[in-house]
Amino acid sequence: MLTSPASTLRFPRLLLTGAAGFLGRELRPRLKTYCDVLRLSDRADLGTANPGEEIQPAALENKAQVLNLLTQVDAVVHLGGISTEQPWDDILAGNIMGMANLYEAARLKGVQRIVFASSNHVTGFYRQDEVVNTRMPPKPDGFYGLSKAFGEDLAQMYWDRWGIETVSIRIGSSTPEPKDRRMLATWLSHDDLERLVVAALTAPIVGHSIIYGMSDNQTTWWDNTQAQHIGYRPQDSSDVFRAAVEARQQHIDRQDPAAIYQGGAFVKATPHG
């Protein structure tokens, strides 16, 4: 948790999808600071509601459930969906139908701002010796990354046609610490994740903006110059972990696609492992 909140703005009601997941559990107490009521949703168990929380289970592919979910909501932080390379049917349900249901419900219910957890795997087939900016064409490294590219395009269409604003955050690797050499470039601390999500919720005008979710890491493959209007200033860096990570992983196989491409092991992941 941040010692002082990243914004003084308060929303009457925020919706957090994917709230039972890894990042959802991390953001649940943090987002409560920025709203009167935090509506939590997932298809997995969310436990009991704390003060100021309401729990509303939903399957993202269920249009009626998602329509109900968006009732009387001021903004959405959308983390729900498949988060790794999985069989296509699961990705189709959670990330394709789920996104379409979410945005159509937002249109029907008058929700004006969505923060979409996209992924660095939208551009996972760029090489680790390239620096990618947010205007360069996608190069998804699998069906998962492809589904996130679809999500970003859907968000763009709902901005152009219906004026619903989105910040698509291409999250790198948001873990307590960077686990390997790749993550020295892709790491996003949980405190910086909070800063970024709050900046995306509160920036005055965003249209549809894309930003990479990374901390202030010395090594970086991503250029957020085109997203400065979001006002995100990372405060953490993977560099404090560098010596320990390099000591743990001294050898890199330079012929391995996982070491060549930004998506790492995702570039060779199959839905079956």
Residue (34 or 222) nearer to ligand 15L, CB:
222
Residue (144 or 232) nearer to ligand 15L, CB:
144
Q: Rule CB under 6 A: is residue 64 a binding residue for ligand NAI?
A: no
Q: Are 61 and 43 in contact (CB under 8 A)?
A: no
From the number of C-beta atoms within 10 Å of its C-beta (0-12, 13-18, 19+), residue 79 rates as buried
CA angle 229, 104, 24 (to 5 degrees): 60
Place of tokens 């990372």: 234
**Known active-site residue 144:** yes
Catalytic residue among 34, 126, 144, 158: 144
Near ligand 15L by CB under 6 A: residue from 41, 86, 101, 119 = 119
Place of tokens 């997203």: 227
Residue 256 CB contacts under 8 Å (≥ 6 apart), including other chains: none
CB of 154 to ligand NAI, least distance (A): 14
Number of residues in contact with ligand 15L, rule: CB under 6 A? 7
Q: Rule CB under 6 A: is residue 120 a binding residue for ligand 15L?
A: yes
Site for ligand NAI in 157-186 (CB under 6 A): 171, 173-174
**DSSP reduced 3-state for 166:** strand
Q: Rule CB under 6 A: is residue 168 a binding residue for ligand 15L?
A: no
Q: Are 16 and 77 in contact (CB under 8 A)?
A: yes
Q: Rule CB under 6 A: is residue 121 a binding residue for ligand 15L?
A: yes
The region, left, alpha or beta by phi > 0 then psi within -120 to 50, assigned to residue 4 is beta
CB of 141 to ligand 15L, least distance (A): 9
Q: Rule CB under 6 A: is residue 138 a binding residue for ligand NAI?
A: no
Q: Rule CB under 6 A: is residue 27 a binding residue for ligand NAI?
A: no
- Choose the stretch contacting ligand NAI; rule: CB under 6 A; options: 41-49, 122-130, 158-166, 194-202: 41-49
Q: Are 208 and 155 in contact (CB under 8 A)?
A: yes
- Choose the stretch contacting ligand 15L; rule: CB under 6 A; options: 115-123, 133-141, 157-165, 228-236: 115-123
Residue 268 CB contacts under 8 Å (≥ 6 apart), including other chains: 257, 258
100's tokens: 């379409």
Rounded Cα distance between 197 and 132, Å, is 21
Q: Rule CB under 6 A: is residue 146 a binding residue for ligand NAI?
A: no
Can you point out the beta strands (E) in 147-202? 165-171
Q: Which does 147 bind (CB under 5 to 8 A by kind): ligand 15L, ligand NAI, none?
A: none
Q: Rule CB under 6 A: is residue 166 a binding residue for ligand 15L?
A: no
**DSSP reduced 3-state for 255:** coil
- Choose the stretch contacting ligand 15L; rule: CB under 6 A; options: 114-122, 196-204, 220-228, 239-247: 114-122
Residues acting as catalytic residues: 144
Residues in the site for ligand NAI, rule: CB under 6 A?
18, 20-24, 42-44, 59-61, 79-83, 93-94, 98, 117, 119, 171, 173-174
